[in-house]
Structure 1
């Protein structure tokens, strides 16, 4: 214990000595000694307040000097040393907080949070010639803030109050992937349900949009994806606020994350609130016509394409929500959702048959259109997914079964039982949907039995459902098939 006490006194005196001298490379060695010592838990738990007070004075002096030197480009060596000393101060602070509530509280009481956040803001906005020199202190500084947050609600609240929303957005905008990753971790650690509500306010929404931008531009940053799925998607107010402020390109990213989250999570654990599902359904209904523009030459602009892709991804999310997620089956009753889906399928089908275009059926099975980027079309599987959604909406729902019949949706779906390389599994989805339309619905069964064969509809596919269609007296008769035949 005596050795530790002597060591504490020596280091503390050395740090205090920096204040009375012009900064020299020797001072960097002093700070590195302190940083290394703080890795030891026994030493870390025994550091006295005086050492941290001296460190704070050195740290504050460095910021003041950098404020005056940042524009003095002829003294680059001095600026480089100041930045190295700043990074080492942050490292010492970072190490001091590891598994030490005592040191977190002590540094907070001394004012390290306020000075550190101001220093980070300065570093992000400074205009030194060697700008890459700021990345090391930025990384260390953000790591220090992250360590202050861990297990300490008081520090968490202080840091949120002092950094939200502008400084957090500045740190997420640093041109350094590691710094952005650390900043994302800080934001994630700060967040809770109440703070997500704050993000929904119009004056703060830019921070949430920045996170979503990073999800799109830097998908390898795990923390931003975690923030979006654990917090953003579980707030209907925030989802609607972000969506309204996004470009179509950004909306696609949001919807892709939502779809992936629904596929990965168990039925009852996805955490997506009902109002998000209602918003998705309403957005699909309001914009679904945009996808039809892809059939014309005017669809060449990126904005038109992105608007159509938004519709396509809205459809994908609706398909996932109504598949094995019982909490979203209220969408079967969503006003006019089934009507809009059947009508869009009709329009796409008619356009595809009228002339050769992006919606036309194809028989090119030499490639896999879902995995071959060179052959990828924006509407791959679109018709199949429209049929899938109709099937989901009609599952065990007599009202929707009858409505689909009144909309003349049954012949339309039967006309899509043929193979189509632009719509993999479309015949299987058509069969699935016909099954849901016929189940326990004699009127729909009678309709199919009375239909005359028309177009290229492959009614023999109904055999997979337990039915066979026989031609009799110029019409069609639907008969059940015994399981042993």
Structure 2
């Protein structure tokens, strides 16, 4: 015996708006109606969906073997010539709830070829420009729940979707689709190196490109995107390939010093990676490849300093090149802070930082500071600057660079300060490069660099701690001409102009030694 949805019997419902007849096999219909204790199919699906919201409800429905019946119903609805979107959507919602943490249902889903059924059902309705993509969203939520069941479940989901189906879905630039898509891909890739390589390879990169572009334009509401980026960029070191593919020019990987043709997608990617590192510093393992890649990007991005005016805004500024410069700098600052928080037994950060130091990180930071005009408070206090500009060895104010964003100087100081922490060879390198007076100059308040004074004091503390030579050099600095400012009095410092005409910040008394403690 079969019942139809167009009949007026108590076992079925009338489907609207289509009057077309749809036949439901009795074994499927009876199982659902009995499990829900209902006489109407639409009502039964709603009641079962509500019951499956709890662990107890899901377990009870698994015992009643409801999920296979729902899959069969969904398959029939999708293959029917009649259009019943409400019922299809109801089956998808019910399957999502049934597979939320219930291993019996998850196993049954894979065994009954649920991946194919849901994939067809979630794309059943013709999606136009006005669609809310709710079918696709719920279908992805089903796969996200199923993928948590185990490797067999993740394999079934991955093999069906990668790469073509994932790419089609990634091209739907809607946040309601974006978040569950990232969830599914993350669940399938976590702990599976071969899948991460596939996703970062020739077939998978277009998917990642679309994902980043969607996130940069419509945003995201959940953390799945960040989690996905973390395993791609940090754990597997595929950051450079993704960053390069987001460029607009050909030969994307061939960076050249001074080239500032970055894209907003690249800036967004780097800002998100920087945020991931900053907020989960004790959980993320940073590789040499990633760290040196960011340093390479920074060396390219500094070329923008030759063509920018003073910026009064912090990151993000809206300029791709400036944002790439800033976020690469803050990323390096946080990488260099890691060994302060993590033990050498637990993390390999010390080796990563030494690799950055060997690649010239400190030298680059010193050069950036030397080429910047002095902090405003010092610049305003130096007398007869114009007469000093023509002195030998002094860079004229016209050739000095300005901070491209609010906080640029502070971020440089932060990198140097973290590099100095408990590293005697870095302390010595600063002294040998005549950098001590330059670093002392940074211990001031500056409206264009919030918290510069605090970062400067941290940097100088690390510069002098346990280093007698550095302490002696600071104590023996000779005053060539000074400017007394109340702002420096509390620190025992003052601004001076040395023989080369450059402003310096030194301790008030040449006989007083600064303790490194």
- Flag whether TM exceeds 0.5 (same fold): yes
Distance across 1 between alignment mates of 2:11 and 2:319: 64
* Matched residue, 1:142: 140
Q: In the TM superposition, what whole-angstrom CA distance separates every residue of 1:251-273 from its partner, at most 9, and x where no partner exists?
A: 33333333333333354x33333
Partner residue, 1:479: 513
Do the aligned residues in 2 keep the contact of 1:146 with 1:186 (CA within 8 Å)? yes
Distance 1:219 1:387 in 2: 31
Matched, 1:197 2:197: yes
The match for 1:394 is 420
Deviations 1:103-160 (A, max 9, x none): 444443443322432444565xx465x842x734333323333333231432221110
Equivalent residue for 2:478?
451
Q: Residue in 2 aligned with 1:349?
A: 373
Q: What residue ranges of structure 1 are gaps of 5+ in the alignment? A: 1-12, 66-77, 361-376
Pairwise CA distance, 1:345: 1.1
Q: How does 1:183-262 map to 2 (within 5 A)?
A: 183-193=181-191, 194=193, 195-228=195-228, 230-247=230-247, 248-262=263-277
Shift of 1:82: 3.3
* Cα deviations by residue, 1:452-473 (Å, 9 ceiling, x for unpaired): 3457697756549xx98456xx
1:380 paired with 2:406, answer: yes
* Structure 1 position 340 matched with structure 2 position 333: no
Counterpart-to-counterpart distance in 2, 1:107 and 1:14: 26
Matched, 1:182 2:180: yes
Matched ranges for 1:31-430 at <5 A: 32-34=43-45, 36-37=47-48, 39=51, 41-47=59-65, 51=69, 54-55=72-73, 57-62=75-80, 65=81, 81-98=83-100, 100-121=102-123, 123=125, 126=126, 131-132=130-131, 135-174=133-172, 176-193=174-191, 194=193, 195-228=195-228, 230-247=230-247, 248-265=263-280, 267=282, 269-295=283-309, 305-326=319-340, 327-330=348-351, 331-332=353-354, 333-349=357-373, 379-430=405-456
Change (3 A) 1:442 1:105: closer
> Is residue 173–residue 214 contact of structure 2 (8 Å, CA) maintained in 1?
no
CA–CA distance in structure 1, aligned partners of residues 332 and 372 of structure 2: 18
Determine the C-alpha separation between the residues in 2 that align with 1:271 and 1:282.
19
CA contact (8 A) 2:99 2:105 kept: yes
Give the whole-Å Cα distance in 2 for the aligned partners of 1:344 and 1:398. 22
How far 1:162 sits from its partner (Å)? 0.9
Aligned residue for 1:295, secondary structure, equals coil
**Which residue is 2:502 aligned to?**
none
Deviation at 1:381, TM superposition (A): 1.7
Shift of 1:307: 1.0
Q: TM-score, normalised by structure 1?
A: 0.72
Deviations 1:147-186 (A, max 9, x none): 3323143222111011023322433443553333333332
CA 1:219–1:451 in 2, change beyond 3 Å: closer, same or farther?
farther
Query: In the aligned structure 1, how far is the partner of 2:71 from the partner of 2:507?
Result: 88
More helix by share: 1
Structure 1 residues 456 and 176 mapped into 2: Cα distance closer, same or farther (>3 Å)? same
Please say if residues 284 and 314 of structure 1, whose CA atoms lie closer than 8 Å, have aligned partners that are also in contact: yes
| Separation of aligned partners in 2, 1:436 and 1:107 | 59
CA separation of 1:444/1:227 partners in 2, compared to 1, >3 Å: closer, same or farther? closer
Measure the CA separation in 2 of the matches of 1:213 and 1:175.
Answer: 8
Q: What are the Cα deviations for residues 240-286 of structure 1, in whole angstroms up to 9, with x where unaligned?
A: 2222223542333333333333333354x333334322322232234
* Structure 1 residues 187 and 419: CA distance shift in structure 2, 3 A: same
Once superposed, what is the RMSD of the aligned Cα atoms? 4.2
Residue 20 of structure 2 is aligned with which of 19, 23, 26? 23
Q: Measure the CA separation in 2 of the matches of 1:349 and 1:415.
A: 11
* In structure 2, C-alpha distance between the alignment counterparts of 1:188 and 1:481, rounded to whole Å: 50
1:314 to partner: Cα distance: 1.1
Shift in alpha-carbon separation, 1:26–1:242, aligned structure 2, 3 A: same
Distance change (3 Å), C-alpha of 1:26 and 1:258: same
- The answer on whether the counterparts of 1:90 and 1:141 sit within 8 Å (CA) in structure 2 is yes
* Partner Cα distance (1:470, 1:47) in 2: 83
Secondary structure in 2 matching 1:396: coil
CA contact (8 A) 1:284 1:315 kept: yes
Quickly say closer, same or farther: Cα 1:46–1:304, change in 2 above 3 A: closer
- DSSP 3-state at the match of 2:237: helix
TM-score by length of 2: 0.68
Q: Is the alpha carbon distance of 1:428 and 1:290 closer, same or farther for their aligned partners in structure 2, counting shifts above 3 Å?
A: same
Query: In structure 2, what is the Cα distance between the partners aligned to 1:457 and 1:229?
Result: 51
Instruction: For residue 206 of structure 1, report the CA deviation from its aligned partner.
Output: 2.4
Q: 1:450 to 1:338 in 2, by over 3 A?
A: same
Moved more, 452-461 or 98-107: 452-461
Residues 436 and 456 from structure 1, CA distance in 2 versus in 1: closer, same or farther, beyond 3 angstroms? farther
C-alpha contact (below 8 Å) 1:460/1:469 kept by paired residues: no
The whole-number CA distance in structure 1 between the counterparts of 2:482 and 2:205 is 52
Select between 397-406 and 208-217 the one with higher mean Cα deviation: 208-217
